[in-house]
Amino acid sequence: MEISTLATYHCLAFVWYFFIAYSTTQVKAEEPPSEVFLYGGQWKYLTVLNLVLQAVFYGVSFLADVLRLIKKLRCAKCVISSRDLLFSVLAFPLSTFVSISFWTLYTYNRELVYPKSLDGVIPLWLNHAMHTAVFPFALLELFALPHRYPAKKKGLILLGFVAFLYISWVLWIYSVTGEWVYPLFALFSPSGLAAFFAGSLVIVMSCYNFGEFLNRMIWGQSKFS
């Protein structure tokens, strides 16, 4: 894509994700929410955190495009490095993981992740914006321009560290409220929950490898030499 076209696309994507993230804050429950819903607000849900992450990523991408357009190449180089690290380590793997894991569990038993009672609270379009559209957006970004991936070990360590922080946050919320962020977790024994978290980590790391593979298949190595 031309830089001006990329700038337009990244600007629109930033506005879209900002709007969706804001829309989640405007969702109001008809009944008084439980303590687990109150504690930490929206910031305990991986879906919402991913929306904020995508907004940040597309904001950084738009900034990189603008810097290239005005020929601030030295600054652009630094911003582009940040953009590629955000995309490869977090934006693509988390969007892919959120979409795949949500709809897999929803199909199996929606009450485990998205109880039917939420249909009267969260509009259908917002549900799909949060859980469906994130994956096509991530794919479109892969096809729009090449991204430089870090060394495999570095990328996976960074991703694993972020996953560890989120799991710690979920466990902390349980220790404070006595309720799980997602009803699914209540079904597991401590060892079963540890296995579930380990399996989820394997899946999200597979999403990282999938993104790296697609990036290499689409753009080859010449773009990064």
pLDDT in tens, the chain (225 residues): 788 899 999 999 999 999 999 998 887 765 544 544 567 778 899 999 999 999 999 999 999 999 998 888 788 899 999 999 999 999 999 999 999 999 999 999 998 888 888 888 889 999 999 999 999 999 999 999 999 999 999 999 999 999 999 999 999 999 998 889 888 999 999 999 999 999 999 999 999 999 999 999 999 875 554
Contacting residues for 5 by C-beta, under 8 A, at least 6 apart:
none
Q: Which stretches within the chain are classed as H helix?
A: 3-25, 35-38, 46-69, 73-86, 92-109, 124-131, 134-144, 152-177, 190-219
- Is 206 domain-assigned? yes
Q: Which two tokens stand for residue 27?
A: 């969702």
- Helix, coil or strand: residue 76: helix
- Is 215 domain-assigned? yes
Q: Which domain holds residue 206?
A: 3-27+35-219
Nearest to 86 by CA among 44, 131, 134, 53: 53
- Is 21 domain-assigned? yes
- Is 194 domain-assigned? yes
Q: pTM, whole model, 2 decimals?
A: 0.91
Number of domains in the chain: 1
Contacting residues for 155 by C-beta, under 8 A, at least 6 apart:
88, 89, 149, 208, 212
- Judged on CB neighbours under 10 Å (0-12, 13-18, 19+), 73 is exposed
Half-sphere exposure of 35 (CA within 13 A, CB side): 8
- Helix, coil or strand: residue 20: helix
- Is 80 domain-assigned? yes
- Is 224 domain-assigned? no
Phi first, then psi: give them for residue 214, nearest 5 degrees: -65, -40
